[in-house]
Each structure stands twice: as structure tokens, then as C-alpha cells.
Amino acid sequence: MSRKESGSRVDVYARITEKIVEDLEKGVRPWVQPWRAGPMKGRITRPLRHNGEPYTGMNVLLLWSEAMAHGYAAPIWMTLRQANELGAHVRKGETSATVIYASRFTKTETAANGSEIDRDIPFLKAYGVFNVEQIDGLPDHYYYAPKPVEDPIERIEHADRFFANTGSEIRHGGSQAFFSPSSGHIQMPPFETFRDAQSYVAVLAHEHIHWTADSRRVGRDLSRYAKDRSERAREELVAEIGSSLICADLGIVPELEPRPDHASYIQSWLTVLQGDRRAVFQAAAHAQRAVAFLHQFQPQAQSEREAA
């Protein structure tokens, strides 16, 4: 990788991390910011590409944050070229939001002994997208506002089925929510002690992200969680982001009020992010893998694998 390419990647990491640090210093967690926007009448969703495909990982955080900063309610984003190909145009003076594309390429090099070696080189590319609310002339369905969800009970039952399908052991009792690596179970306070069903689901999703850390599942090392504040902060960041992704996938609004431990977590996240520009990217990637793992247990995913 050239010095220019390396510098470009560092610049992307730095710019995005600085924005998230800025939000955290205000006490705002970017991954839950959309739910603070006010009454959202349609279904909650991840940000969507122009073809309806959901964004994943770090791009979800970036576009949620951007949507809230500018008040966009529509979840769909596209590049200038994609808008033009649809016969539409971005309004004059509008600015794009940054998303990233991470991948790898193989470069063949000649070793000192004359043999050829293939080297796997990662790269990160940033590019701009616009929300459909910044674009005029798109087909009508891009501006379609989803109908309100009439039956919230059905949504919660859907969430219960989602977690039941994972096969996790959930015990209720006490006043704390946690995942116990030694016994492998998830402990939750009684359902009735939560402010509402959505808050219960958000916390249960958080603990399920921790549950995926086991080596038999996704595999994240939690051996230093109780001893190292930095490692604990990193894992809690993974669980926080993962919980918001699950809630979006289930169409459920996460808790609006911070839990008592969030103030201390925010300070620990700031310490980690200020010392490591890639920490939030790594956390988002871990969260995405954990969420994808939980989705594998769902009937639809199983049907798709059988059809393939």
C-alpha cells in the first residue's frame, strides 16, 4: 500500500471517529439517535440502498447519525450517479453523507529468492450518498411513507420468537441484566419491571450480542472483560451497536432513556475512541457478525439455505 493510500485510510478513520466522539461528548449515542427524533409513524428500519438492500455495520451508524442531524425521515440513500440514472437530480446546494466500502485485493510480489508471493491487502474507500429527501424527480415509490404499524403486540411477539429461535437460555429474576459466560445463560429482570416492552427487547438484544461471544458461536475473547476497562468498553460498544441493529431489524424502537450505566460507558468509549481511531469500526464489524449469527437461527434464513 502506498503512503498516499495509507494516509487516505487513516483520514477516513479519523474523520468518522471524530464525528462519533463529538456526539458522545454531547451525551448522544449515535446508534440510538434516530429513536430520539420524535414520533415515527412508520416501521423502524435500517438505512436502505437505492435497491432496497439494507446497509450493514458502520454505514448504519453513519447514515442514522446523518439522518438525525438533518431531520430526514426517509431511510433510502443513493449516489449522485444512481439518482441521475433514475432520471432524477440532487437539489443544488445539498451535501452528501459519507459511507464506506471495505474490501481486499491480492497483489503478487517477487520475493528475494525470485519466487512470487500473493499478498492480501485490505483497503477502505469512502464515497458520498444522498437521502431521497435531497433528490427531486425520483419515481413515486421512493417517497412512499410506510403505513403505521397498527398492532404493536404483534411486533413484540415477533421479537419473542426471534430470541426463542436462537436456543439461548433466558432466566428471569433479580434487578440486573447480564450474560454469564460460566453458565452460558442470559439473566434478565422480570418483564414487569421494565418501562415498556420495547425497553425489554432492547436490553434482551444487548445481552444476546454478549451471548454470541462464546467460541461455539461467533467467538470474541471476553477473558479480560472483568479485569480491563478498555476491553470491557469495547465489548459494551459491540453490544450497544448490535442491540440497535437487532431492534431496527425487528421494527422495534429501542429504549429512549439511557440506562444508569450509560454515563460511565460513554466516558469509557470516549477514552477508547480517542486512543484508537479504528475501535468503532471494529465494534461495528463485530456487531454486524453477531447480528448475522442470530439471524441464521430464524426460519426464513433456514429456508433460504435449504433452497440454495
- In tens, the pLDDT along 71-82 reads 787 889 999 999
Cα 78 → chain centroid: 19
The answer to whether residues 66 and 97 touch, using CB atoms and an 8 Å cutoff, is yes
Q: What are phi and psi of 188, to 5 degrees?
A: -130, 140
Count of beta carbons in the 10 Å neighbourhood of residue 160: 13
* Residue 85, C-beta contacts closer than 8 angstroms, at least 6 positions apart: none
pLDDT at residue 214 in the model: 94
pLDDT at 39 over 50: no
Task: Please choose, from the candidates 248, 249, 244, 223, the residue with its C-alpha nearest in 3D space to the C-alpha of residue 234.
Answer: 223
pLDDT at 123 over 90: no
> Which residues pair with residue 174 across a beta bridge?
none
Helix boundaries (H) for 26-125: 58-70, 80-85
Q: Quick one: pLDDT band at residue 262, thresholds 50, 70, 90? A: low
> Which is it for strands 77-78 and 116-131: parallel, antiparallel or unpaired?
antiparallel
Cα angle for residues 155, 158, 160 (degrees, 5° grid)? 115
199-243 per-position pLDDT tens digit: 899 999 999 999 999 999 999 998 888 898 889 989 999 998 999
Q: Which of 108-122, 160-174, 225-239 has the lowest mean pLDDT?
A: 108-122
Task: Please choose, from the candidates 217, 221, 198, 195, the residue with its C-alpha nearest in 3D space to the C-alpha of residue 208.
Answer: 217
Task: Give the Cα separation of 247 and 198 in Å (integer).
Answer: 9
